[in-house]
Structures are given as C-alpha cells and as structure tokens.
Amino acid sequence: MNRRDFFTKMILSGVAMNLSNQASAKNNSAKKKMPVIFLGHGSPMNAIAQNDFTKVLSKLSKKIPTPKAILIVSAHWLTEGTYVTAMDKPKTIHDFGGFPDELYKIEYKAQGNKKIAKEIVSKLSKSHEDLSWGLDHGTWSVLKHIYPKANIPVIQLSIDTNLDTKGFYELGSKLQFLREAGVLIMGSGNLVHNLRDLDWNETAPVFPWAREFDEWLKEHLVKNNHQALAFDFANHKLIKRAHPSLDHYIPLIYMLGATTSSDKIEFLYEGFQNGSISMRSVMWS
C-alpha cells in the first residue's frame, strides 16, 4: 500500500468502536507510573528556537519523574509493519531540506536500550527490531529541549501503515506495561498540520478552520472521549483541511491507547505556529 492509499483509507474508514468495555478493562492501578505525553513539534526550526513553546519543553523534565528510557512514536517514521529501534547508539537523522546549516550540525547523542527494545518487540505481535533508522527530527527536535544532555535512552516505534485507527489504538494499549516499568511513552506530531496553507510567519494569525478543529479536539480531550478522538475524527467536516495527510495525527491515537481511565489530563502547551500548525501538547498522568 502506498502512502497516498494509506491516508485515504484512514480518512474514509471512519472506524467506529465501542470503547466502554475497553475503558473498564484498562489498568486502574494506583501504583505510581510514568505519564503519557503527546507533543506538537512543528517546524525543525523549533530545535534551535527560543519561543513560548520551547520554553515549556525546557521545563518539562522537572514536572515528571526521571524515566528509565523514552519510547517515542514520531510522525516521521512510517513503515509497512511495526518496527522498534534496537541499536546501542541511534543516529541523528536530518530528515528535512532547505533549512539553515545549524540544524544539520545537531547531533542528539542519546543512547538506545536493546533490552527494552527486545521486550517491546516480544509484547507486540508481528513487530520487528530495527537497526537502520535512528532518531528523526520529530524526536530529537523536542528532546533536545527536554533532555539537552541526551542522558536518557531513546527508542523509536514506527507507525505501521498497514494498520487502521483501531489497530493504532490497540497497539498503544499494549504499551501500557512500560509505564509501570519507568519508561516514558511519547508521541510527536501536530493536532492540526496543514503545510499547504502555512504562513511562513511563525506568529501569523490562526486560520479560523484550524482554530475550530483544534478546539473540537480540546473539548474531547477534556472529556476523555476516545471514541471521538481515535475514530470519529475521520468524519469531521474539517479533517481534510486540518490534516491533508494523517501522519502527524496518528501518534495521538497511539498515545490514547497507552492511557488509562484513571489518568488526569494536562495541557502542557496551547498555541499555534504559522497559522495552520497546532502546537497543542498534552500529558496524561
């Protein structure tokens, strides 16, 4: 399946699923566990920017327990099948073009963790270890601010283009065990991501349609309405405008699956860049 067919399938499927049974079955243990975080990452320029968004990132490590490792689902790693980086020293991938030389000189030298990677693969059916990818800019551009010393091991989990929204959600639920093991689960994308309508001025006014879709998401995040966020969004009147392709939305679905009904939600950041990029970032803990 090619990339275009994949995203068309996601938009048209409108997968409906009764989540009430799953919600009641989720682990409601009072045991201390790591949070789940979805971050907007926006332009690669945020890696070197000092703005309201990156200032929030720079304070995030003080808000949460120090993780044993980080597992991150980035919008920029799409594969046929599910892959988990399993190398000791993942390379820094500069997966963009036309930006200042300063960005291409950045090396985020976090270690990997083979043991945890193997454990994840053992828990996820039909998943595979990967030794060729690394850390793409959806990962290192945000972690550079959160953990600037790169002193926390990082593992990436790919987005499986063979799955539908139900598959993303269910796979996310299989990651819940990591929270009890001290692993921080993160998703990196954007809740509104339209590069076609983008204004090159970072502080440009927000397009009304972008604001409307972002506010719809906020409403259902506050309500913890997984049915709307993981499935019904595909039928929203603005979905094709807010997401001409769904790669930057899908990490949210993985994160929803990794949460439990006892989690409390916090908006780490609310705002837009370039008029059509929502930087809304969410934590469940």
CA distances from 23 to 27, 79, 109, 221 (A): 9, 29, 38, 15
| Structure confidence by residue, pLDDT tens digits, 33-48 | 999 999 999 999 999 9
Q: Which residues are bridge partners to 70 per DSSP?
A: 154, 184
At residue 5, the pLDDT reads 58
Enter the CATH code of domain 3-284.
3.40.830.10
Per-residue pLDDT at 19? 47
Structural domain boundaries of the chain?
3-284
CA distances from 55 to 48, 101, 135, 213, 219 (A): 11, 23, 22, 25, 25
Q: What is the mean pLDDT of the chain?
A: 92
pLDDT by residue (tens digit) across 10-26?
A: 545 554 444 444 443 34
Task: Specify the pTM.
Answer: 0.90
What is the per-residue pLDDT across 158-195, written as a single tens digit (0 to 9) for each?
999 999 999 999 999 999 999 999 999 999 999 999 99
Nearest to 232 by CA among 7, 6, 11: 11
How far is residue 17's CA from residue 9's CA, in Å, rounded to a whole number? 16
Distances (CA, A) of 71 to 155, 164, 283: 5, 21, 15
- Which residues, other chains included, contact 176 with Cβ-Cβ below 8 Å and sequence gap of 6+? 26, 27, 258, 260
Q: What's the rounded mean pLDDT across residues 256-278?
A: 97
